[in-house]
A and B are shown apart, each in its own frame.
Chain A
Amino acid sequence: EAQVTQNPRYLITVTGKKLTVTCSQNMNHEYMSWYRQDPGLGLRQIYYSMNVEVTDKGDVPEGYKVSRKEKRNFPLILESPSPNQTSLYFCASSLLNSPYNEQFFGPGTRLTVL
């Protein structure tokens, strides 16, 4: 089944404790992206990647890191989480040169930083 997976789905942590949220897709998509969703603010892009070893900042990259060592994986790293990073996070992927450019979203990760 074609899909985007994220782990963990729920995470409660404390300020300053490094964490990683994994994202994996099995559709051979070149493009992958991380969003955070907060009430009233919609979906804001954190980082995106056009292909392996190619990453770039989105609109709200502060406090986050990503890597793209393999085409299928795009982990999101919070080196020192803070309470303002409490949010719902979505990973998404798409073909880069498709005429439709539909983005497929993962199930989401609800992160709480105490």
Chain B
Amino acid sequence: GENVEQHPSTLSVQEGDSAVIKCTYSDSASNYFPWYKQELGKRPQLIIDIRSNVGEKKDQRIAVTLNKTAKHFSLHITETQPEDSAVYFCALLGGATNKLIFGTGTLLAVQP
């Protein structure tokens, strides 16, 4: 079945630095790629998403890029702040189903 690999599993950065999380996938029919943020003890929440007809999308300090040829997509966070500390999950929607496949998550720690 469809699979998505997420790297790194943990990431520690200094406040103000950038953070990049990358996910790779195998199903070329995947057409929707969301990113979810899960703060400690909370539920996952959508922070940004991108569809397959777009190469990049930006929302303030957060951006997502998609390379359909290489089958990978990445989350970029600039000017990181302590409140960005959380677990981030990439996901994709495969083929004709409404089934979201999640990555294994990245624990981002922003050191003040």
Contact = CB atoms under 8 A, between A and B. Distances in A.
Interface of A: 31, 33, 35, 40-45, 48, 50, 58-59, 90, 94, 96, 100-103, 105-108
A106 B42 CA distance: 9
Nearest to B102: A43
B9 A40 contact: yes
A106 to B, nearest CB: 7
B93 A101 contact: yes
18 contacts: A33-B100, A42-B6, A43-B44, A43-B105, A44-B102, A48-B98, A48-B99, A58-B99, A90-B43, A96-B98, A100-B49, A101-B34, A101-B93, A101-B98, A101-B100, A102-B34, A106-B43, A108-B43
B25 interface: no
Interface of B: 1, 6, 9, 32, 34, 42-46, 49, 89, 93, 98-100, 102-105
Contacts of A108: 43
Contact of A45 (B42, B93, B99, B105): B99
B98 to A, nearest CB: 5
Contacts of B100: 33, 45, 101, 103
Contacts of A33: 100
Given A50-B98, A101-B32, A105-B43, A42 B103 contact: yes
A3 B99 CA distance: 20
A102 B6 CA distance: 20
Given A59-B1, A96-B98, A101-B32, 12 more contacts: A35-B102, A44-B102, A45-B100, A48-B99, A58-B99, A94-B98, A101-B93, A101-B98, A103-B46, A103-B100, A105-B45, A108-B43
Would you list the 9 A-B pairs with minimal beta carbon distance, nearest first?
Answer: A42-B104, A105-B43, A43-B102, A42-B102, A42-B105, A102-B46, A105-B44, A31-B98, A107-B43
